Structure 1
Amino acid sequence: MPRKGMRSLCFHSKTPSYSTSRHPSPSSRDPSVSTPRRSFSDTMIEQSIDAAASLIMKWDPESSAYAKVTSIFYESKREAIQFIKCVNDLQKAMHALVSNNSSTSERLVYAQNLMQIAMKRLQKEFYQILSMNRAHLDPESVSARSSRASTRSSTSDYEDVDDDVRPPGDSIEEVEEVSSIAMADLRSIAECMISSGYAKECVSIYKIIRKSIVDEGIYRLGVEKLSSSQISKMDWELLDMRIKAWLDAVKISLKTLFNGERILCDHVFASSDSIRESCFTNISKDGATLLFGFPEVLVAKSKKYPEKIFRVLDMYTAIAENWPEIESIFSFESTATVRSQAINSLIRLSESVRTMLSDFESTLQKDSSKSLVVGGGVHPLTLNAMNYLSILGDYSNVLGDIFADWNPPPKSSLPEFYFDSPQTDESPAPEIFMRIAWLILVLLCKLDGRAEHYKDVCLSYIFLANNLQHVVSKVRTSNLLYLLGGEWVAKHEAKVRQFAANYERFAWGKVIASLPENPTAEVSPAEAKEVFRKFNLSFDEAYRKKGSFIVSDPKLRDEMKMSIARKIVPVYEEFYKKNRQQLTGSGERNARFYLRFAPEDVGNYISDLFFGTAGSGSRPSSSSSSSHRRRERSTA
């Protein structure tokens, strides 16, 4: 090898060496310094080379069958440490030989040959440690025992180490101990090879082995490259399984896989920032790009499913919430493409959410079904829409990000009270309030139109009360309450009560009007019979026509029945008691015809309302059967 080539190999910018200032050339040496000083320096160089030769040749695989099948780091840790020290001393001796003009080139060639043998040995050791400790250097073990914020020096890693490494046990402590020892061994070998000019050989082995671990880990997490045609052909069940696997993969890969690889890489190659970056980028870039690229491909190529919006929001949340970890783990300039891929996926996911909500709104507005719910109950459109929106309420935080730049409808499109909901520091972004409120308004407008298809105005009001009450209940029992606020709920509850009052006025107004304002006033038998006759007819009609109506919400149902009963039962009871005697006591043949309903019967009939079975087109039955039916309902 030419002298110039050896000189460039032996001189390394980070390699400690004998200083030429301490060993000046003969021309610049102080006359007072005697010749033995130079001889002593030459003697130290010779001793370093000879000491290195003895240990290096002992572990030369080409000259020893024992060395070929045995690992120095496994056989004797102290001798391994001594081996590293000898190689470092040899490096310094070679540096000194080049610097000393009186040194012979033969000695330098000999030292270089020793160095090549030593590097081949260390290369073999590096490979064996990486291969034999795959289980203990898995990212989960590495991330559990260390952090990039605190890495120990190679010197401290070797303090108080026994000659023989204990075989791994089953406990977490033993696994972490073996992991720590292996990491320390790898770091000492890497620093020695890098300082000796053999970084390329060391890095090549590391990249091949560790990249295979990361790629295998990504595959085992269920993440694989899918073509556009594969995704477009997937049904929802399979697609949902893929998304669930991806969500788990993001969580695990950031916590253990990539985090562990970054910790290991930072530790092993702590002496070189450029090598650390190069290794980690080569190992992780493909797997991370595949992982964070999945959402972008999915939203672009998958079919439209109503349920997909929630999975899309889950994926958005997974990236958004883990962004600090993504930015920290992939902080190198060479891993900028990984960060860019994650951001691009966030952008595509947010666009997909906005599109799907627009499609949802369009579906509501275009709904032209004229089907009516029997009894004025809750319409399937209301059930489906509110289930959809209530689940959306669970994503209020990410929806705030997604709709931060959303343009709400003009104020002229919304009622005044949609704009005066109080906002506090803890309230969600106003854009989300407006967006959800707008979608509910679209739904309510469709319900208003649906109510017009009922021929009975009373049933229309029951329908509106039922459906608006369901909307309010869904808001109350979900995170929509946090989004819309208590004032929104109170205003819509007032509208429910107004619908109920309108129903009561149209359905039971005649019954209420048939009773005298003063039920205790003196009236003639003829006047009493006329009051009873009008009440019987109106009550019979109201019960027969309205008895099959349904009120789904138990609380609303009780409130409506109590309101009707308060306006009828007490007045009727007083009038009944006041005038019953004069009809029955005078021997009136048709007294039973006029006194058809006892006060308790009236109360029982009203109690039977809004279950969808009372009345059913038939007239109210006798007092005894009414009481019997009431008892059956109370025990049901």
Structure 2
Amino acid sequence: MHRPARNSSSTISSSPSPSMPSSPLHFFSPKSRETPSSTPEPERRHNFSQSMMEENINNADLILTKWDINGSTYCKLESLFTGDRREAKAYLRSVRNLQKSMHFFLSEDSKSGTLVRAQNLMQIAMKRLQKEFYQILSRNRIYLDPETVSVSYRSSRLSTARSSTTSEDDDEITSTSDDAISEMVMADLKAIADCMISSGYAKECLKIYKLQRKSIVDENLYYLGVERLSLSQIQKLDWELIEMKLKKWLPAVKIAVNNLFNGERILCDHVFSSSPRIAESCFTDISTVGAMSLFGFPELVARSKKLSPEKIFQILDLYDSIAYLWPVIDSIFSFESSSDVKLQVVTSLIKLGEAVRSMLSDFETAIQKDVSKSPVPGGGIHPLTRYVMNYLVFLSDYNGIVSDIVADWPLTVQSPLPETYFSNPSSGDEEASVITVRLTWLILILLCKLDSRAELFNDVSLSYLFLANNLNYILKKVRNSKLKLLLGDQWLIQHEDKLKKYIANYERMGWFKVVESLSKLNQTADISPGLSSELFRGFNSVLADEFRKQAGWVVPDNKMRDEIKVSLAGKILPPYMAVYDRYRGAFGRRPEMEALIRYAPEDLSNLLWDLFFGVTTENSSTTSSPYRSGSSPSSSPSWSARSGLAGRLLQNCSRDICKRSSVHGLCSDM
């Protein structure tokens, strides 16, 4: 049967479907939005966020359980942070997403099963990260060596180091250099630390870090020779052992500060850069004990009962090392919690300064209380002079440190002294002037002590030679050291003038009898054989006495010795040459005059040259003549070696000089 077709248009209009809106506008009508089947917008957003958080947990479950340390053997042996870095990045990213999910569900329902699941996953993740953190610290000690870290930092490579392992460009280590590996390892540690701290596991992270790094600090200090000593232990040690420890400490403190502690501070600041408070706590706990032992050693040495003035230079070395390193120490231990370390450094400096002051006082007292009563053989250099000047020369090398130590330690002088004595016009440095006062005062004490020692000589001329020798030694030490800059040119000029006076007094008092005898010979108007014989015998006797007496006298300094000889030759040879020519011309070669005038000018010059070597020769021991009968200057063993200077002396005292010079004038100059 054929069924007639239905009019579709009429059907739609006559019998509308109850499930379809009658018009497209129905979807936007208020009535349609209020139907029970529609979902409010906030609820839809909530459902979307919840689904995203659940998805984060599901994704985290996949990767976290894969690396569960309680899982497969592979996960127990392998590390996330080796080889391909993408797995490690994905792991850390999943932990961060898991943390966000936990915060979300915690705000919704703190007792939800999803939150419990997320918490269990977080515990699995933290156990894994703790293991990774420990493994990186323990397996990469060579790349986390403080020196490597500090060198890397100084070369500014850390400034461009990757701050975390989340960079998309560093999937694996592309460089095998120690610095590059060190940077990568530090970046891994920082990424793990950031993750654990933000997840609330800072305590667990710090426990691992402190345990590992403190053992490294202590081990390095041990190999550097740093010991934990007490004052009682130091007091029981012989100074030789203390000095051995001191010699080890001086290089050790530089390495410890510049490399060890500096590297640890850099590493702490980098790994825990997300929390300065944690970085401070970590570095303080790691370094304080070792630093206190290191910086406490100088204080113990300074308080030792075995200190004496000679040991001042070891104390100054300690002071110098700490003072030089102080800016770096202050920078490294800048945390408030590290104040005990800096206080120990300051305390050591104070105690060392006090020890230096005490030893300087002892040194001054030792000079003043010198009890040597025996005159120095030949009027040479007194042992006290050598001791004091060598001491002061070494002390001048520490002028900056000593100036700092004595800056607020005023010099107390019992008797008033001219202010010009302590002046230093060649230097405008105030610090230098402080130590200048100390040094000039100590030298003045020495000079006064030498004056008293000069009185021990029975011969006044030898006393002046002794003073000249010692003052010349002092001046040489000053000129050839930093003492010259500290004492100044004016001080040198004043004491050089004093040296000239000492030498002049020696020449005048030591040779006035010889010069006076020559003067009488030259002043005789009427020459008679009898008178001539008497005068020449007197001259020969005086000459023999002086040479015999001064044969053992000494002038150690070559330059001053030659200057004195030239000066004596200028005073003795010209008048003697005049007498020699005059009498030889008047009496010819009479036998009786040959016996009296037995010294040619060359002989006398040779005798002068033999002076001041401090050795009494056989030829100079005779009481009648400087030479034995029949001997001549040319037979002297030393003549060939010394004839050059003798010739120069004779040239300086030529006949022309003799004719133009007045004998009386030469004597008056003496």
Query: Do these two structures clear the TM 0.5 threshold for a shared fold by scoring above it?
Result: yes
Cα distance, 1:614 vs structure 2: 5.0
3-state SS in 2 of match to 1:558 = helix
- Between stretches 487-496 and 206-215, larger displacement belongs to 487-496
Is the CA contact (8 Å cut-off) linking 1:148 and 1:266 kept in structure 2? no
Report the residue type matching 2:56 in the other structure.
S
Cα deviation code 1:214-249 (max 9, x no counterpart):
111111111112233332232232211111111111
Report 1:307-322 matches (<5 A): 307-322=310-325
C-alpha separation between the residues in 2 aligned to 1:384 and 1:508? 32
User: What TM-score, normalized to structure 1?
Assistant: 0.88
Q: CA RMSD in A?
A: 2.6
Question: Which of 460, 463, 466 is matched with 1:463 structurally?
Answer: 466
Cα distance, 1:187 vs structure 2: 0.4
C-alpha separation between the residues in 2 aligned to 1:390 and 1:605? 37
3-state SS in 2 of match to 1:72 = coil
Question: Which of 608, 611, 622 is matched with 1:606 structurally?
Answer: 608
Change (3 A) 1:158 1:521: farther
Question: Equivalent residue for 1:597?
Answer: 599
Change (3 A) 1:555 1:415: farther
C-alpha separation between the residues in 1 aligned to 2:576 and 2:155? 84
Matched, 1:628 2:635: yes
Cα distance, 1:212 vs structure 2: 0.8
Change (3 A) 1:220 1:34: closer
Question: Which of 552, 555, 558 is matched with 1:551 structurally?
Answer: 555
Is the CA contact (8 Å cut-off) linking 2:85 and 2:165 kept in structure 1? no
Matched, 1:108 2:115: yes
Matched, 1:52 2:64: no
Report 1:325-336 matches (<5 A): 325-336=328-339
Report the residue type matching 2:427 in the other structure.
T
Cα distance, 1:303 vs structure 2: 1.1
3-state SS in 1 of match to 2:613 = coil
Is the CA contact (8 Å cut-off) linking 1:544 and 1:620 kept in structure 2? yes
C-alpha separation between the residues in 2 aligned to 1:157 and 1:401? 51
Cα distance, 1:490 vs structure 2: 2.0
Cα distance, 1:579 vs structure 2: 3.0
Question: Equivalent residue for 1:194?
Answer: 197
3-state SS in 2 of match to 1:73 = coil
C-alpha separation between the residues in 1 aligned to 2:482 and 2:548? 41
Report the residue type matching 1:61 in the other structure.
I
Cα distance, 1:163 vs structure 2: 4.7
Question: Equivalent residue for 1:560?
Answer: 564
Is the CA contact (8 Å cut-off) linking 2:162 and 2:183 kept in structure 1? no
C-alpha separation between the residues in 1 aligned to 2:154 and 2:175? 24
Report the residue type matching 1:605 in the other structure.
L
Matched, 1:132 2:139: yes
Is the CA contact (8 Å cut-off) linking 2:393 and 2:477 kept in structure 1? yes
C-alpha separation between the residues in 2 aligned to 1:364 and 1:570? 45
C-alpha separation between the residues in 2 aligned to 1:152 and 1:90? 30
Matched, 1:352 2:360: no
C-alpha separation between the residues in 1 aligned to 2:228 and 2:643? 61
Change (3 A) 1:268 1:155: closer
Is the CA contact (8 Å cut-off) linking 1:525 and 1:583 kept in structure 2? no
Change (3 A) 1:167 1:112: same
3-state SS in 1 of match to 2:242 = helix
Is the CA contact (8 Å cut-off) linking 2:292 and 2:341 kept in structure 1? yes
Cα distance, 1:40 vs structure 2: 2.9
- Between stretches 123-132 and 217-226, larger displacement belongs to 217-226
Change (3 A) 1:152 1:272: farther
C-alpha separation between the residues in 2 aligned to 1:126 and 1:252? 27
C-alpha separation between the residues in 1 aligned to 2:486 and 2:542? 46
Change (3 A) 1:188 1:523: farther
C-alpha separation between the residues in 1 aligned to 2:273 and 2:159? 9
Structure 1 unpaired stretches of 5+: 1-30, 169-173
Question: Which of 409, 413, 431 is matched with 2:434 structurally?
Answer: 431
C-alpha separation between the residues in 2 aligned to 1:523 and 1:64? 134
Question: Which of 177, 182, 188 is matched with 1:179 structurally?
Answer: 182
Cα distance, 1:474 vs structure 2: 1.4
C-alpha separation between the residues in 2 aligned to 1:146 and 1:420? 49
Report the residue type matching 1:84 in the other structure.
L
C-alpha separation between the residues in 2 aligned to 1:155 and 1:200? 22
Report the residue type matching 2:635 in the other structure.
H
Is the CA contact (8 Å cut-off) linking 2:520 and 2:535 kept in structure 1? no
C-alpha separation between the residues in 2 aligned to 1:99 and 1:148? 48
Change (3 A) 1:571 1:614: farther
User: What TM-score, normalized to structure 2?
Assistant: 0.84
Matched, 1:507 2:513: no
C-alpha separation between the residues in 2 aligned to 1:528 and 1:220? 88
Question: Which of 243, 264, 267 is matched with 1:264 structurally?
Answer: 267
Change (3 A) 1:326 1:427: same
C-alpha separation between the residues in 1 aligned to 2:506 and 2:376? 17
Cα deviation code 1:238-278 (max 9, x no counterpart):
21111111111111101100000001001000010100100
Matched, 1:250 2:253: yes
Question: Equivalent residue for 2:665?
Answer: none
Matched, 1:120 2:117: no
Report the residue type matching 2:313 in the other structure.
F
Report the residue type matching 2:548 in the other structure.
R
Structure 2 unpaired stretches of 5+: 1-38, 645-670
Is the CA contact (8 Å cut-off) linking 2:426 and 2:485 kept in structure 1? no
3-state SS in 2 of match to 1:412 = coil
Report the residue type matching 2:388 in the other structure.
A
Change (3 A) 1:523 1:599: farther
Change (3 A) 1:176 1:302: farther
Cα deviation code 1:269-318 (max 9, x no counterpart):
00101001000000000111111111111221341344321100000001
Question: Equivalent residue for 1:8?
Answer: none
Report 1:551-590 matches (<5 A): 551-585=555-589, 588-590=590-592
Cα distance, 1:580 vs structure 2: 1.3
Cα distance, 1:632 vs structure 2: 4.7
The percentage of counterpart residues that share the same residue type is: 50
C-alpha separation between the residues in 1 aligned to 2:307 and 2:47? 85
Is the CA contact (8 Å cut-off) linking 1:231 and 1:302 kept in structure 2? no
Report the residue type matching 1:235 in the other structure.
D
Question: Equivalent residue for 2:77?
Answer: 69
Report the residue type matching 1:591 in the other structure.
M
Change (3 A) 1:159 1:535: farther
Question: Equivalent residue for 2:33?
Answer: none
Question: Which of 71, 94, 97 is matched with 2:105 structurally?
Answer: 97
Report 1:409-424 matches (<5 A): 409-410=412-413, 412-415=415-418, 417-422=420-425, 424=427
- Between stretches 552-561 and 423-432, larger displacement belongs to 423-432
C-alpha separation between the residues in 2 aligned to 1:368 and 1:72? 80
Cα distance, 1:392 vs structure 2: 0.8
Report 1:363-442 matches (<5 A): 363-410=366-413, 412-415=415-418, 417-422=420-425, 424-426=427-429, 428-442=431-445
C-alpha separation between the residues in 2 aligned to 1:416 and 1:543? 44
- Between stretches 481-490 and 56-65, larger displacement belongs to 481-490
Is the CA contact (8 Å cut-off) linking 2:309 and 2:360 kept in structure 1? no
Report the residue type matching 1:267 in the other structure.
H
Report the residue type matching 1:127 in the other structure.
Y
C-alpha separation between the residues in 1 aligned to 2:107 and 2:635? 117
Change (3 A) 1:425 1:48: farther
C-alpha separation between the residues in 2 aligned to 1:159 and 1:472? 71
3-state SS in 1 of match to 2:428 = coil
Question: Equivalent residue for 1:21?
Answer: none
Matched, 1:480 2:483: yes
Cα distance, 1:571 vs structure 2: 2.6
Cα distance, 1:129 vs structure 2: 0.3
3-state SS in 2 of match to 1:590 = helix
C-alpha separation between the residues in 1 aligned to 2:420 and 2:163? 71
